[in-house]
Amino acid sequence: MTRSPYQGIDARAFWRTGLAEAAYPPPDLYRPRWELTKGDRIVTAGSCFAQHVGRALRRNGFNVLDAEPRPAGIAPEDGPSHGYDMYSARYGNLYTTRQLRQLLEEAWGSPRDFDAIWEKDGRFYDALRPNIEPGGFESAEAVRAARAQHLEKVREVFTQADVFIFTLGLTEAWLHKPSGQVYATAPGTIAGRYDPEIHAFANFRVSEVKADLEAALARLRALNPALRVLLTVSPVPLTATASQAHVLPATVLSKSVLRAVAGEMQDDHPEVDYFPSYELVTSVRAGAGWFEPNLRSVREAAVAQVMAVFTRAHLGAAAAEPAVELPAGESAEDRAARRADRQERKAAREARRAARGK
């Protein structure tokens, strides 16, 4: 009989040996639930951080599908501003699980009746992906034609998928009250006009986020019974919150809800895995140095470190190493110096107390 249930378990299970005194990123952080091969057909979607996942996988030779590739007339550097080179289809950022669920419902024949086309300065925008065409479309008919083509490609790419990688980004959203349709952005920010009579703010709870994700994945598994799913949570904080809370606790609440759902999905479904990119970027060992000065955008070098953890776990020595090394948090020497400083200050306090007692 052991003295404690913690006796003899892996060093990775303890904060001191698993994080505080370990290399960073920790070498045994992520143990894949299932194998990802370069022959697997991968579909990516989600919040803005999901773009990094797709690019890193392509660099390592994985088969990331792209049903709506960038046309030859658009330069590579202009691709993302037109919705290209981001994900496996031109759906733009899918920040919430409700967006994902509704996209799949629309693609397979259940569109909602809502204000699907926004207008601004005589140009027209797809209300569900208003930033995929800078300056908008020339007519409402052009928006409808582009969306019909897009939905055809959504059906095509998800029907082919072996693996679906989805990054959960937000719980806050704006919706069309009569239909329940969720937008990618608030009406009026890019185009359209905010009307409090028909538009409402929503901050989805754990039960709602999970129900939407369950429904979306059930639809995809009906198409591909062997589909495997990898979930991540975006480490990028909220730009702003409409919850009336300060943006810091609002961000923590949103990410906590998403992380809880990802954990429950992993526990409940053997085909679902979770990769801890969120934890890697936001941990105390990473610190503010993993972010740009705005404390929102994740540095490219940090993204490279995160994706190196993922690719090493799946490819081993064959994984491409990050081109840029990024120091993570304080070094062992820094920690030792900090301990010495604390001890020195403690000794000084005790000396002052002893002097007063004489």
Cα of first residue to Cα of last residue in the chain, in angstroms, is 53
Distance, in Å, from the CA atom of 202 to the CA atom of 170, rounded to the nearest integer, reads 11
Distance, in Å, from the CA atom of 184 to the CA atom of 95, rounded to the nearest integer, reads 7
**Per the structure block, which two tokens stand in for 24?**
């960073």
Distance, in Å, from the CA atom of 352 to the CA atom of 76, rounded to the nearest integer, reads 66
Q: Residues 267-289: what's their mean pLDDT?
A: 96
Q: Give pLDDT tens digits for 279-288.
A: 999 999 999 9
Mean residue pLDDT across the chain: 89
Residue 198 pLDDT exceeds 60: yes
Give the confidence band of 225 by pLDDT, cuts at 50, 70, 90: very high
Query: Which amino acid, 94?
Result: L
Residue 333 pLDDT exceeds 50: no
The phi, psi pair for 181, rounded to 5°, reads -70, 135
Distance, in Å, from the CA atom of 29 to the CA atom of 124, rounded to the nearest integer, reads 47
Residue 336 pLDDT exceeds 80: no
Is the separation of the CB atoms in 123 and 136 below 8 Å? yes
Does pTM surpass 0.85? yes
Q: Residues 69-96: what's their mean pLDDT?
A: 94
Give the confidence band of 356 by pLDDT, cuts at 50, 70, 90: low
Q: Residue 301's pLDDT is what?
A: 92
Q: What region, left, alpha or beta, does residue 121 occupy, with left being phi > 0 and alpha being psi -120 to 50 degrees?
A: left
Is the separation of the CB atoms in 263 and 279 below 8 Å? no
Distance, in Å, from the CA atom of 158 to the CA atom of 92, rounded to the nearest integer, reads 16
Q: Give pLDDT tens digits for 103-138.
A: 999 999 878 888 899 999 999 999 999 999 999 999
Q: Residue 337's pLDDT is what?
A: 42
Taking the C-alpha atoms of 42, 45, 48 and 54 in order, what is their torsion angle to the nearest 10 degrees? 10
- Residues sharing a CB contact under 8 Å with residue 157, sequence separation 6 or more, in sequence order: 43, 65, 66, 67, 88, 89
Q: How far is CA 274 from the centre of its chain?
A: 11
Q: What is the DSSP letter of 286?
A: T
